[in-house]
Amino acid sequence: MSSQTDVRRVNLTTLQKMKHRGEKFAALTAYDACFAEMISSAGVEVLLVGDSLGMVLQGHDSTLPVTLDDIVYHMRCVRAGNRGALIMADLPFMSYGHEQQALDSAAALMRAGAHVVKLEGGAWLANTTSKLSERGIPVCAHMGLTPQAINRLGGYRVQGRDTAKAQAIIDEAKLLEDAGASLLLLECVPVGLAKTLTETLSIPVIGIGAGPDVDGQIMVMHDLLGITPPGIKVPRFVKNFLVDAQSVRGAFEAYSEAVKGGTFPAPEHCFL
């Protein structure tokens, strides 16, 4: 598939301008060319080649077994189908344990077609973030619930509920913005904390289970289509858009419109 017929091209400046205008943007995971074409054509601004592929494609019970080669492979597939969306790719577990490893891993993803790399963690990633960004590799910091740390966190739980932990997330997010992060992804945090961060930071904030007051929303594609791997509990923040749509393409369009129109997420998808 060629990208010569792209009608729009989303980049970081597009998202930054949307934030300033108060316009919401939509993001969704994608792992192959066919779905990348459908999702980007449906008006979704950002595609994420997420390490969630370990759970929804490979059938693992966490994202930890996913390798850099896995993400590179799916990154190439998504690039082939993309119609002008910004493509973000996950640096998988232990592919950015130290700065040189992060540079090498991120370079592999950029060569495969990523526009932004996403890293899970807080203050400990400040130097890595500045090294990547100095070398022209845009970084999305992923904070709140960080699934690669599931064994330390002890479960898929809401993060930042008490004042001290919320303040730590705010301080570390500011540190990463100052270090050069271009985006922040917040997973499973209370609505109020996400709102404060979105108002405090100048970079766009993308939320999943973070309430309606962030700049953009993201979901795992399989969740949006009501496909849940066996044995996995459907999280509160998930909405199945396929039930009311005529088609898969229609479900992606409905999601994009609901995010932009502010009807998703609704209160039942949020944590207080």
Catalytic residues: 187
Q: How far is the CB of 49 from ligand KIV (least distance, A)?
A: 8
Give 218 or 254: the residue with its C-beta nearer to ligand KIV. 218
State the DSSP H helix or E strand holding residue 143, giving kind and residue range, or none if neither: strand 139-144
Give 6 or 206: the residue with its C-beta nearer to ligand KIV. 206
> Quick one: tokens of 16?
């930054």
Q: What phi, psi does 137 have (nearest 5°)?
A: -105, 105
DSSP state of 256: H
Q: How far is the CB of 218 from ligand KIV (least distance, A)?
A: 5
Q: How far is the CB of 164 from ligand KIV (least distance, A)?
A: 25
- Interacting residues toward ligand KIV by CB under 6 A: 29, 48, 50-52, 90, 185, 187, 208, 218, 220
CB 93 within 8 Å of CB 85:
no
Alpha-carbon dihedral sign for residues 65, 248, 219, 50: positive
Q: What phi, psi does 79 have (nearest 5°)?
A: -60, -40
229-240 exposure pattern, b = at least 16 Cβ within 10 A, e = fewer: eeeeeebebbbe
Give 20 or 85: the residue with its C-beta nearer to ligand KIV. 85
Give 120 or 253: the residue with its C-beta nearer to ligand KIV. 120
CB-count burial class (<10 Å; 0-12, 13-18, 19+) for 43:
middle
Q: Please state, in angstroms and rounded to a whole number, the distance separating the CA atoms of residues 263 and 69.
A: 37
Give 116 or 220: the residue with its C-beta nearer to ligand KIV. 220
Alpha-carbon dihedral sign for residues 236, 157, 200, 128: negative
Q: How far is the CB of 185 from ligand KIV (least distance, A)?
A: 6
Q: How far is the CB of 58 from ligand KIV (least distance, A)?
A: 12
